[in-house]
A and B are shown apart, each in its own frame.
Chain A
């Protein structure tokens, strides 16, 4: 009886190894949840086109985690949706981080679909600032329905937050006193705004859907919405590069993968994921 059980236990432990005798190469990619769809899709295509067995691991965590991982050698490639900050450059000086940009993305200030339907289609930079600072607490103060604003913020190291806050506050890591709750990945933020009926937040514009609507930025008489045109022309102010980061010059499989991303096929994947390729 005992022997049978021990045998089963041992079998469970050994089984994985007997399946694949040959050793395949492995690439580990960690970082921004914005870039993740590109990396995942590209990984699939790249693996199937490759002549030998390849494994590409893609995991989220945020731009900050991506930079930290690749700098410390815990992953081969880091994904970021923002620039490497000054303090990060200093901290990771020894790692010689190299940035490979593969596309562009815009960040929209988003609101729950009910708020959009109630007439809020654009806000000024100052209004958004005041909302995140807690000075404006109710939608009626900006021309909307009489409902308290659910201010959704992101974790401090997230690329989306850096770029958004840099535009709104002139500072990539400001203290926001009006925040009601903090989310992590784009998925989590999208969920929260969709579930609420009076939320405001920041999302990559590829994540906009029926429940989560983008509002335009108003500056004096100009109203700019995030669309492919305005982003490409540079009219829309909150844009960023989506990049893959390596420690030093890439070589071997990693280099091949990055080159694939910059190739026409890779750029098409960028477009399919909802972002803007470079050509």
Chain B
């Protein structure tokens, strides 16, 4: 019997090892495949502004597009998520709360391609008409679409963060004569702030990694907009670039290496953001 347990323990240990290998393997492959181009270009890869396949590979337009789109989405999401989270957590009855949370969880699972379809058939055309643009495939379109995509997730996590503030804080505040509103804003919210930060960071991480929806509406132009803050021009993000160009040179060559290096960059960026996000969330729960 002891031997059987020992044996099974090794089986489980193996399965665990397989799981750990997934992450390790992913990272290893990304680094291994990017190595050629990084050796060739060094830091210039990330500062280069031109990406002409076969001639020169510069990642700056993609980095810029990814950063700008994500930052915009964050700006759009943050106030909304905050306001709605406060309302749901502090002012809604528990039955309604559960219903709203269920709906949010459902919405968080909507596939990216469905958002892509909505973006192409509605959002792109609306933005073109509202702003009088030449074409609706722009940075701002992608940012709007992304903000709608991550809203359910950020909302639900922010609301969790507010809920996690212990009841004593609220009771003490109310006991001191503060109104519900004052309690919510001056007592609960500051306590929940790290958790809300965490939620937003995780949302950003997801927005940065979204491929399909962005690929269809961002315009796929490998250029930093002119002027740089022109969010109404077409641009390119890293996942969108990978989605559009990877089929051309899968497996080998300088082009592939450059794409892998882009992928590695994206991976590291998302990793850092998610790591920070999870730290903020964890800190919140410890309170």
Binding site for B on A (CB under 8 A): 61-62, 64-65, 68, 72, 74, 87, 91, 148, 150, 155-157, 173, 175, 179-184, 192, 195-196, 198-199
Q: Is the CB of B248 within 8 A of A62?
A: yes
B134's partner among A68, A150, A156, A184 (CB-CB below 8 A) is A150
Contact of B249 among A68, A175, A183, A192 (CB under 8 A): A68
CB of A148, distance to nearest CB on chain B (Å): 6
Shortest Cβ distance from residue B201 to the other chain A in the assembled complex, whole angstroms: 31
List B contacts of A74 (CB < 8 A).
250
A interface footprint on B207-244 (CB within 8 Å = 1, 0 otherwise): 00000000000011110000000000010000000001
**Known contacts A91-B253, A157-B53: A65-B247 contact under CB 8 Å:** yes
Q: Is B105 an interface residue (CB 8 A)?
A: no
Complex: how many Å from CA A74 to CA B249?
A: 12
Q: Which residue of B lies closest to A91 (CB)?
A: B253
Looking at B52, B54, B134, B222, which has the most chain A CB atoms within 10 Å of its CB?
B134
Q: Bound state CA distance, A7 and B137, in angstroms?
A: 46
B interface with A by C-beta (< 8 Å): 50, 52-54, 125, 134-135, 137, 219-222, 234, 244-245, 247-251, 253
Q: Are B248 and A181 in contact (CB under 8 A)?
A: no
In the complex, A74→B248 CA distance in Å?
Answer: 12
The smallest C-beta distance from B120 to any residue of chain A, in angstroms, reads 9
Contacts of A62 in B (CB 8 A): 247-248
6 extra interchain contacts, Cβ-Cβ under 8 A, other than A180-B135, A180-B221, A181-B220?
A: A62-B248, A68-B248, A181-B135, A181-B137, A196-B134, A196-B135
- Nearest 7 interchain pairs by C-beta: A182-B220, A181-B219, A181-B234, A150-B134, A65-B247, A64-B248, A61-B247
The answer to whether residues A198 and B248 also contact, given A173-B52, A181-B234 and a CB cut-off of 8 A, is no
In the complex with contacts A61-B247, A87-B54, A179-B135 CB distance below 8 A: no
CA distance A155 to B251 in the complex (A): 20
Q: Answer whether A72 and B135 are a contact pair too, CB < 8 Å, given A180-B234, A182-B221.
A: no
Roughly how many angstroms separate A179 CA and B51 CA in the complex, as a whole number?
14
> In the complex, A179→B235 CA distance in Å?
11
Alpha-carbon distance between A155 and B222 when the two chains are bound, in angstroms: 11
Q: How far is the CB of B221 from chain A (nearest CB, A)?
A: 5
B230 to chain A, nearest CB (A): 12
Q: Report whether B53 and A72 are in contact in the complex, using a CB–CB cutoff of 8 Å.
A: no
Contacts of B248 in A (CB 8 A): 61-62, 64-65, 68, 157
Q: Which residue of A lies closest to B218 (CB)?
A: A181
B-chain residues with CB within 8 Å of residue A196 when the two chains form the complex? 134-135
Between-chain CB contacts (< 8 Å), 16 pairs = A61-B248, A62-B247, A72-B251, A74-B250, A148-B134, A150-B135, A155-B244, A155-B245, A175-B50, A175-B52, A180-B135, A180-B221, A181-B219, A182-B222, A192-B135, A196-B135
Residue numbers in A under 8 Å from B222 (CB-CB): 182
Complex contacts, B134 vs chain A, CB 8 Å:
148, 150, 180, 196, 198
On chain B, the residues within 8 Å of A183 by CB distance are: 220
Residue from the list B50, B54, B244 in contact with A184, Cβ < 8 A: B244
Closest residue of chain A to B252, judged by CB?
Answer: A72
Q: Which of A61, A173, A179, A198 contacts B54 (CB 8 A)?
A: A173
Residues of B with C-beta under 8 A to A175 = 50, 52
CA distance A179 to B234 in the complex (A): 10
A68 to B54 Cα, complex, angstroms: 14
CB contacts (< 8 Å) of B125 on chain A: these are: 195
B88 to chain A, nearest CB (A): 33
With a cutoff of 8 Å between Cβ atoms, the chain A residues found around residue B137 in the complex are 181
Residues of B within 8 A of A87 (CB): 54
**How many Å lie between the Cα of A183 and that of B220 in the bound state?**
8
Q: Which residue of A lies closest to B124 (CB)?
A: A195
Q: Which of B52, B135, B244, B253 has the most CB of A within 10 A?
A: B135
Chain A residue nearest to B134 (CB atoms) is A150
- Interchain CA distance A148-B251 in the complex, whole Å: 41
A179 near B221 (CB under 8 angstroms)?
Answer: yes
CA distance A184 to B240 in the complex (A): 12
A181 to B247, CA, bound (A): 20
Tell me the smallest distance from the CB of B140 to a CB of chain A, in Å: 14
Q: Give B51's nearest chain A residue, CB to CB.
A: A156
Give Cα distance in the complex from A74 to B279, angstroms.
Answer: 44
The answer to whether A182 touches B219, judged by C-beta atoms less than 8 angstroms apart, is yes
Cβ-closest chain A residue relative to B234: A181
In the complex, what distance in Å separates the CA atom of A195 from the CA atom of B247?
Answer: 27
| A residues in contact with B221, CB < 8 Å | 179-182
Note all chain B residues with C-beta closer than 8 A to A65. 247-248
Q: Chain B residues with Cβ under 8 A from A91's Cβ?
A: 253
Name the residue on A nearest B50 (C-beta): A175
A6 vs B284: C-alpha distance in the bound complex, in angstroms? 39
Residue of A nearest to B53 (CB): A156
Contacts of B52 in A (CB 8 A): 156, 173, 175
Taking the closest CB of chain A, its distance from the CB of B117, in whole angstroms, is: 13
Contacts of B54 in A (CB 8 A): 87, 173
